[in-house]
């Protein structure tokens, strides 16, 4: 569904260039629920904004269902954001109008997208467990309740992709768990593709695929594997090789291997590539 090829993003700040993305490649399947993690400034939010049509790449392409959205005109990109993308931000002030009730917030978004249906607006509130709060204003709701309504607002125009930027950053751990459970239910019932950006490394336990961005590139991936016969789950971690056949090694891996120099020994042993410190 989503194919990012060689994405580069350069910002100008204080008369100097800052490279947020450095030739990033990633493919995301339809209906996938995944997390993008990384340190502050790693480029994860920049990637999310590009997929959402909020920013354009300096170089590279972003294909959504085979169409390069980086080449769309302004009117076309507005239509794309309205009909294809649902946004969920960390702070509810970016998701909800404070002077509208929960139900009115959803209805307003539907009217903007020309897909108004009061019946479906009520069903969305029911889907996020907030139907009893339909006539309350945001300041009458807790942080977790506001995020639930925000999810309903993000789904108002039946998007095929939901982008969530630090969606649990302003709530407690119990509420965060409830929100991720809701994401799983929506992902299963609606088949919507959900991409979550966060700095929380523990997210690998809550989604099926986690990718780590480091220095503007995808460096590693974790795939969750669940054995249904036994109540057990594990993770396989993979380093990602770019088109030039390069991989990034984390500080933790280098430290564990005792590698402190900028040179390593690379050899093939019984069909496996072995990287070790120089003798």
Give the pLDDT confidence of 13-26 residue by residue, as tens digits: 877 888 888 888 89
What is the overall mean pLDDT for the chain?
85
The architecture that CATH gives domain 2-93+160-246 is: 3-Layer(aba) Sandwich (3.40)
What is the SS3 assignment for 218?
Answer: strand
Q: Which residue has the higher pLDDT, 227 or 98?
A: 98
Kind and range of the H or E run holding 222: strand 217-227
Domain with CATH 3.40.50.300 in the chain: 2-93+160-246
pLDDT value of residue 228: 46
pLDDT value of residue 230: 46
Task: Place 164 in a pLDDT band, splitting at 50, 70 and 90.
Answer: very high
Task: Place 229 in a pLDDT band, splitting at 50, 70 and 90.
Answer: very low
Q: Which residue has the higher pLDDT, 231 or 181?
A: 181
Q: In sequence order, what are the residues at sequence separation of 6 or more whose Cβ sits closer than 8 angstroms to the Cβ of residue 32?
A: 1, 193, 194, 208, 209
The bridge status of strand 67-68 relative to strand 217-227 is: unpaired
pLDDT value of residue 93: 74
For range 103-117, the mean pLDDT: 87
pLDDT value of residue 34: 92
Q: Are 134 and 103 in contact (CB under 8 A)?
A: yes
């Amino acid at each position: 569904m989503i194919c990012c090829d060689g994405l580069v993003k350069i910002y100008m700040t204080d008369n100097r260039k800052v490279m947020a993305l450095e030739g990033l490649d990633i493919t995301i399947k339809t209906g996938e629920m995944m997390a993008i993690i990384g340190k502050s400034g790693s480029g994860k939010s920049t990637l999310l904004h590009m997929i959402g049509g909020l920013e354009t790449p300096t170089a590279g392409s972003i294909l959504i269902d085979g169409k390069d959205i980086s080449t769309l005109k302004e009117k076309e990109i507005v239509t794309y954001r309205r009909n294809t993308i649902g946004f969920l931000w960390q702070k509810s002030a970016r998701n909800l109008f404070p002077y509208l009730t929960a139900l009115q917030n959803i209805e307003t978004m539907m009217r903007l997208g020309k897909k108004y249906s009061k019946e479906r607006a009520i069903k969305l509130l029911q889907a996020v467990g907030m139907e009893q709060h339909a006539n309350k204003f945001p300041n009458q709701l807790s942080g977790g309740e506001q995020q639930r309504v925000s999810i309903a607002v993000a789904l108002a125009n039946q998007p095929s992709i939901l982008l969530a930027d630090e969606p649990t950053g302003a709530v407690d751990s119990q509420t965060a768990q409830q929100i991720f459970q809701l994401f799983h239910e929506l992902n299963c019932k609606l088949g919507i593709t959900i991409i979550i950006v966060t700095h929380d490394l523990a997210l690998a336990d809550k989604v099926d695929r986690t990718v780590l961005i480091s220095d503007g590139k995808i460096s590693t991936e974790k795939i969750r594997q669940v054995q249904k016969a036994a109540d057990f789950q594990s993770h396989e971690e993979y380093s990602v090789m770019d088109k030039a056949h390069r991989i990034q090694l984390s500080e933790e891996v280098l430290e564990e291997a005792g590698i402190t120099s900028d040179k390593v020994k690379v050899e093939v042993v019984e069909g496996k590539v072995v990287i070790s410190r120089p003798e």
